[in-house]
Structure 1
Amino acid sequence: MMTGMVTTHPGADAIAGLRAHARSARHLAVAVLVASIASLATAQMLAERAPTREGTRPFAWLALGVLALAVPAMTLTQAAWGARSRRVRVREQALYAKVSSGPLQAASRLGVAAGWAVTLLLGFTVPRLFRESALYGLATAMSQAIEVVALAGLAAAVFYAIWWMRDTLAHATASPGDPWDPGHRGPGQERRPAWAGAAAATCALVAARAHLWEPATWLLCALLALTLACLLAAWAGTRRQEGLVTHE
């Protein structure tokens, strides 16, 4: 019998499939989050640059529509990501007496929290666009709704922090991993430029929304198009890799 050879655990294939599905759900949630921020920031800047009140209104409605679609889309995709991640953690605990953790998990959670904060801050400025469009009644009603959303967001942030602390303490004493664990397949090298491009373009749009720089209107549209194209390329690569893992 040859020593030093580590055979594959009988449940390794199932773990690999679950991890691939969870990774795909994470990438979709991040893509929706980034696309929502980029689209909302662009719509608001286009509204602010309209020369007349009548010209502002279509972009104000566009910003409202983006916000109305972004919040449930972000909620659903992140809920699916959480559900798939929990399946991975349960199976890992059963097979290897450990769960996934590390800097990437903490960075993901901080990134999601920051993304929600930016989205809500952008959403809080939408009523002002309607006020500048001379739709005062609608602006007042939206301001009142935004106050309710702000309280809900604050409560969600508190519960999120409590859950994170409880989850961290629950797995702080996890035993070392089984040597049969095949480990994780990280994101493909070919997708990293796409994610980096989407992140850079979105940061540029948010900086422009914060008036840290004043790009031309055509450049705003180009940055939005670049963000969406990079996200689409990254998502296509993720789906392709998921198919390869699940069919092995």
Structure 2
Amino acid sequence: MLLTELPPPPGAHEVAGLRARARNARRSALVALSTSIALQATAQLLADRAATREQTLPLAVLSLAVFVVALPTLAATQYVWGARARHVRRRERELYADVPSGRVRPLSRICVACCWAVTLLLGWTSPRFFRQAAWYAFADALNWAAEALAVLSLSAGVLFLLWWAREALEMLTRVRRPGGSPGDPWDPGSGARRGEGAVLWTGAIVAVAALVGARAHLWEPATGVVYGLLTVALVCGVVTDE
């Protein structure tokens, strides 16, 4: 009987299920990131182009609301992603005496950190739009809150960089270490990962980057193009199926 015809050993299906749950958590975290950045950038772009104070106010409120909702949502989804990924690695080590090298993990973490930075930078500009809408007292209070959040964010950023550098050095040391277990031949591994969502994720990333670039005044798209980019970012992110 061929090896591939034998039934998988205990634990193989469990690991496959754990990996699927981790991929779903990763997808939720990335969708939350792309959606929050796209909505904030679009609301602020349109607020910049508003002709009157009355038109600016609802867009300013929308931008602030997205920012307030995004912070706990991003924290929760990324915590779940990290917890499930750690659970997968622990179970893989128990069953197969080895885990994937995870060489792209430091890169993915720094990319997520950059997305956090963009989200925070967009949120810190919210007071200006309320000032344009003539809500001066609220804008001053919001500006004070943004300054306090900026101090906390910078402190968290420094701690993240220290932790990230330590993890990257430890991973580099493990990669260079000779020997190690070859792993279990029954390990289901990542297998042939489904690639149907690659194009959609690429479209979402390009659309979000274009909106952020427009918000930074790197280019000046028409209002219709802005709505089109927002639609592409939301649709590509939501319908992506890994």
Instruction: Specify if TM > 0.5.
Output: yes
Name the TM-score, length of structure 1 as normaliser. Answer: 0.87
Moved more, 171-180 or 184-193: 171-180
- Give the alignment of 1:6-155 within 5 angstroms: 8-155=8-155
Query: What are the Cα deviations for residues 138-167 of structure 1, in whole angstroms up to 9, with x where unaligned?
Result: 111111111111111112222222333444
Q: CA deviation at 1:10?
A: 2.5
CA RMSD of aligned residues (A): 2.2
Determine the structure 2 residue equivalent to 1:178.
Answer: 183
8 Å CA contact 2:106, 2:164 repeated in 1: no
Indicate the SS of the match to 1:214: coil
8 Å CA contact 1:32, 1:74 repeated in 2: yes
8 Å CA contact 2:44, 2:60 repeated in 1: yes
Distance in 1, Cα, partners of 2:134 & 2:220: 25
Query: What are the Cα deviations for residues 115-157 of structure 1, in whole angstroms up to 9, with x where unaligned?
Result: 0011111111111111111111111111111111111111222
Q: CA deviation at 1:96?
A: 2.4
- Give the letter aligned to residue 229 of structure 1: V
Q: CA deviation at 1:177?
A: 4.0
Alignment CA distance shift 1:187-1:142 (3 Å): farther
2:211 paired with 1:222: no
Determine the structure 1 residue equivalent to 2:197.
Answer: 191
Determine the structure 2 residue equivalent to 1:246.
Answer: none
Alignment CA distance shift 1:186-1:136 (3 Å): farther
Q: CA deviation at 1:185?
A: 3.7
Distance in 1, Cα, partners of 2:80 & 2:100: 17
Q: CA deviation at 1:77?
A: 0.5
Alignment CA distance shift 1:31-1:216 (3 Å): same
8 Å CA contact 1:131, 1:139 repeated in 2: yes
8 Å CA contact 1:205, 1:223 repeated in 2: yes
Indicate the SS of the match to 2:137: helix
Alignment CA distance shift 1:120-1:16 (3 Å): same
Indicate the SS of the match to 1:190: coil
8 Å CA contact 1:25, 1:80 repeated in 2: yes
Name the TM-score, length of structure 2 as normaliser. Answer: 0.89
Q: CA deviation at 1:4?
A: 11
8 Å CA contact 1:34, 1:202 repeated in 2: yes
- Give the alignment of 1:156-171 within 5 angstroms: 156-168=156-168
Alignment CA distance shift 1:101-1:27 (3 Å): farther
Determine the structure 2 residue equivalent to 1:210.
Answer: 216
Alignment CA distance shift 1:185-1:214 (3 Å): same
8 Å CA contact 2:39, 2:230 repeated in 1: yes
8 Å CA contact 1:6, 1:179 repeated in 2: no
Distance in 1, Cα, partners of 2:125 & 2:237: 26
Distance in 2, Cα, partners of 1:64 & 1:111: 24
Distance in 2, Cα, partners of 1:163 & 1:112: 14
8 Å CA contact 1:37, 1:118 repeated in 2: yes
Distance in 1, Cα, partners of 2:75 & 2:62: 20
Determine the structure 2 residue equivalent to 1:245.
Answer: none
Where structure 2 has 5 or more consecutive residues not aligned to the other structure, the ranges are: none
How many residues align? The count is 236
8 Å CA contact 1:195, 1:230 repeated in 2: yes
Distance in 2, Cα, partners of 1:58 & 1:201: 23
